[in-house]
Amino acid sequence: MATIMETNKPEQYFIGFDIDDDVLKIIENKKKSIKMELNKETGEPMEVEELSIDNKKKQSTSCSISESMNTSSSTPEYISEDCQAIQSSASPKVSSSKLKEICINNTIIKRRNSEIVTPFASMQSSNYMVKALVHVFKHLETHDLLSASRVCTTWHTVAMNKYLWQNVNLKNSMVHDWERFVDSIAQQRTDTLDTRRMLMPSKVEDFKCFWLRFSNSIKRAKRLKFIELYGCPVHVVEDIIYSLPEIKVLNATTIRNPNFTKVKKNPNDLMYLNLNHLGQMTMLTEIKLKGLSGIKLTALPSFENLRNLNRFSLTSIQAFPKDIYKSLNTITDNIEFFEIGDCECLTKDFAVSLKRFVNLKTLRLENCYNRWHQSARDVFTVIRGLEKLNVLELVNIEFSICVEDELKKCDGIKALLIIPDYARNSAFTNCHLIDCLKELSKTLTHLVWVLTFELLHLTDLFKTEHRPNQHPYGSNLELSLTNETTYNIPILRTINPEQRPGDEVHYFDILSVPALEKFWSTASKIYVNERLTKNRRTLFSKTRLACKEKWYKYVWVNNAEILVKKDDGEKTLRIKSDKDINKL
């Protein structure tokens, strides 16, 4: 006997059958009734027993329950099986209204079931959305991430994910409350703080207060491991070294003098830097310190506790302490990257300290002129003895005959960056540098030779006005003569050609930079860049600071000229001296 049991849940039913003879009879009678209706349409006679009234009631009750359970996931399967059984027993040429009705019901049920959204599908869709937002948000800057967190609750939850706050970049952002900022990054467990291109006050007094509040607040950020400082005063570096000894990486390559913009103050005044507490940073692996103006290093500690130190960079240092070599001798011999400058302040003892760094891979020496020639031979002798050293960078180096002879012997160098000092005879410098590079071209794989705007500009003017002799070059380079009027450099004659009547006497030739690049194209990769001189770089730095204070929108350099523009559509102004800056 068929029984129907209703559960507590609305619109859901449980169907059960007792296994007895009556049930089997009901099923057989149902099959016979369907076959009888089909045979009536085909015209074939068939004897069918009449169903009892009770059986008809049971059949109608069963059909009504099936219709009420059209949301069940199991119902379409049973109906589909019945439909297939009926279709197999019927002739394919017969169009039965019963079959059409069953097929229509089956289609409706399938469509309804497909529209049902289960809790699992909803959770999966939400999970995909969160993952997509995380991938997008990780490319946003800090102020954009904060703006996104205010859109809705879901975006706020995603934006406040600790994964997105591991690295905080303050580019194009200004922090007005450093205490709340430090509390926030401490709560988010931030380990990297990057202040490069951060917005800062333009007035000197506001600038000092800004960084003073930073120094007082950053002491509580004990979870920070990597700090990148931008445009900060010297005392900020000293405060971080003292208050955060567990830092692994500390970079401050744009240390700024707060009094740099004052007219009454000398912009060349040295900034005093004390690194006496650097020895307590036992977890330090990298430190880079460089100032926009000169720095006087007053104290250096012992580095014997800094066993993990791998990168050490101290540049723009115009005055070292007397015991600098005693401190350098305590640096671990596992160091791989070493940068130091100004080298003119170093003595012959520097070569002894450099010899200890047997694992050194990259060496950068800056401002190698004047007194540096006294120790140049000893330094290059040590460089040739460092077997793992393959990258050498020489910045603002006076390229004398001694330097040429010693550099030619450094055949272990694979990559060379050289920026000659063109303050004196540029034709002489280029001539000897080319001879040296020809010797090194057998072993060099990468070469960067940096030229200044002034050198290119003056050479182009000379070539345009004087039109030097059109006979072959008086040098030992096999270069074809070119008539290009831009990007040329002077070179001293090494071969005196025969003079023809009417020729002007010149002691140097003009070489084209593109032709010079092609000369070594088969042996190595050469990139010739343009660079401002030291005085022009100082003027350009002053111009940028002045334009920030006076809200100028554009500052750029073109052909060794410093250009500024207040806004779009405004007149372009040329800056040639400090007087032009004061007129802004």
Determine what percent of the chain is predicted with pLDDT higher than 70: 68
Q: In the predicted model, is pLDDT for residue 260 greater than 60? A: yes
Mean pLDDT score, 462-486: 54
pLDDT tens for each residue of 340-373: 989 988 988 999 999 999 999 999 999 999 888 8
Could you tell me which residue, 36 or 89, shows the higher pLDDT? 36
- Cβ atoms of residues 167 and 192 within 8 Å: yes
Mean pLDDT score, 313-332: 92
Mean pLDDT score, 199-206: 90
What is the pLDDT at residue 549? 76
- Cβ atoms of residues 539 and 562 within 8 Å: yes
Q: How far apart are alpha carbons 554 and 541 in whole angstroms?
A: 14
Helix axes 178-187, 204-218, angle to 10 degrees: 30
Q: In the predicted model, is pLDDT for residue 379 greater than 70? A: yes
Q: How far apart are alpha carbons 471 and 498 in whole angstroms?
A: 9
pLDDT tens for each residue of 523-555: 444 444 555 666 777 788 788 888 877 878 788
Instruction: Choose among 157, 177, 159, 155: nearest CA to 168.
Output: 159
414 burial class (0-12, 13-18, 19+ CB within 10 angstroms)?
A: middle
Could you tell me how far CA 35 lies from the centroid of its own chain? Answer: 77
pLDDT tens for each residue of 415-458: 999 999 888 788 888 888 988 998 898 899 888 888 887 787 77
What is the pLDDT at residue 202? 85
Mean pLDDT score, 281-288: 96
- Cα separations in angstroms, 310 against 294, 299, 333: 25, 21, 9
Residue type, 418: I
Q: How far apart are alpha carbons 222 and 412 in whole angstroms?
A: 43
Q: In the predicted model, is pLDDT for residue 137 greater than 80? A: yes
**Maximum CA extent, the chain:** 136
Q: What global pTM score does this model have?
A: 0.68
Helix (H, G, I), strand (E, B) or coil at 409: coil
